[in-house]
Structure 1
Amino acid sequence: MSGHAPDLTALEARIGHRFADQDMLALALTHISAVKGAGPRVRSYQRLEFLGDHVLGSVVSHMLYATFPNAEEGELSRRLAELVREEACAEVAQDMGLGDHLRLGPGESQSGARQRRAILADVAEAVVAAVYLDGGYTAASGVVERFWRSRLEAPRRPLRDPKTVLQEWAQGRGLPPPAYRDVARTGPDHAPSFRVAVELPGLAAAEADGNSKQAAQKAAASAFLAREGVVTESGA
């Protein structure tokens, strides 16, 4: 295709899909600020972003279903939300190198839009849609697999707050809510360390440290769960 800079070909290689219609990729990279004339939303990535959101959700849902055969619906939903949230999509956009190829109006370009998380997340979804429209579901699945698989297998943050998991575990055994007790506070005022114990009737307490009381409570709950052999991420 003529009329486009060669760097889109390099970007195609990074994404993992050679476009039959490279205009589709160019559209996925076009912010509304770069469009002049009538109907700017239609000629920016916004429609593609709408489609890509659903294509991504479908592909990731299938990946989760196949990867975690013992996971229940609630856990699959939590994992899906983690993988398609704005921060995760923006990270993928950075991995793809999309920021350098964004088509922006002068104002947006000067305001740091190339590094703006919301824009990067939208463009990542738009690229998924562009691949889907250009090469079909199989092509889109391949790109999602390439960039989301490692995130799926090793979530960047805990899927559930350990305090919530421990409370539900206790409730399921007819026990009262866990009690958190401050054990010690050490260190200087600018960098304190807190030690907290979590207690449940009839069971040994678990203690842990943290740089805040909340962090220490979470660490104590995690220690308690680990000791009792509670699996918080079924199928992981």
Structure 2
Amino acid sequence: MTALGFLYPGHSAEDDYPRIEQLLGSDIRLDVIHTDIGEDAHRVDALLRMGSVERLAAGTEALRLTGAEAVVWACTSGSFVYGWEGAHDQVRSLALAAGMPASSTSFAFVHAVRELDVRRVAVGATYPSDVADLFAQFLRAGGAEVLSVRGSGIITAAEVGTWGEEEVLTLAREADHTDAEAVLLPDTALHTASHLPALEKELGKPVLTANQVTVWEALRLTDRRVNAPVLGSLFTREPIVQA
């Protein structure tokens, strides 16, 4: 049994994790520990507070009790908002506090893009445009060429969590770029685990979504490989990229 830990802010789309656990169909357990979201706002100052070392450290004791072998901060905006170097510092602090390998959803996207061996990507974000642009800057720092960025202007994770398949498909379609080799949908508040086959069929290319890449990143940290095509192209490739 491989136990994977996730620090998830608040309550929006955390039910993606038991769904992904079921779809993996293997001896893998996904344990979600909720952190204090503070102010639910896709605004830079609120996101910086949400991803603070103190808030993340507060969840590590409960995480250790689960027997987790690795932990991922399951929040895209609460990691890339710190910038490339700041996000590295955040992960190092989390690893130290948790006493295990650690990463974040932002780095999961960077590693997943490399895993798919693509460079040119399009971004469809639920965030306001200024926050979406920060994600694009983070991806560029990680070596990706971001061809287009679409922000949806949604302020709260609570609203994002109400979106269904049609809204997710619309976001992906509108975000896609003719020359993009993959489409990225950040925001772990967005339900996507059940929509991955439909997304990739609709766009005809790999689609990376926040909760999907977060789980993949935790598997990468523990050197696990699971073939699960129902979770998209990312879960059908070899080998796992190294950090």
The answer, yes or no, to whether TM exceeds 0.5 is: no
- TM-score of the pair, normalised by structure 2: 0.29
* Higher share in helix: 1
Q: Which has the larger radius of gyration?
A: 1
Higher relative contact order (CA 8 A, sep 6+): 2
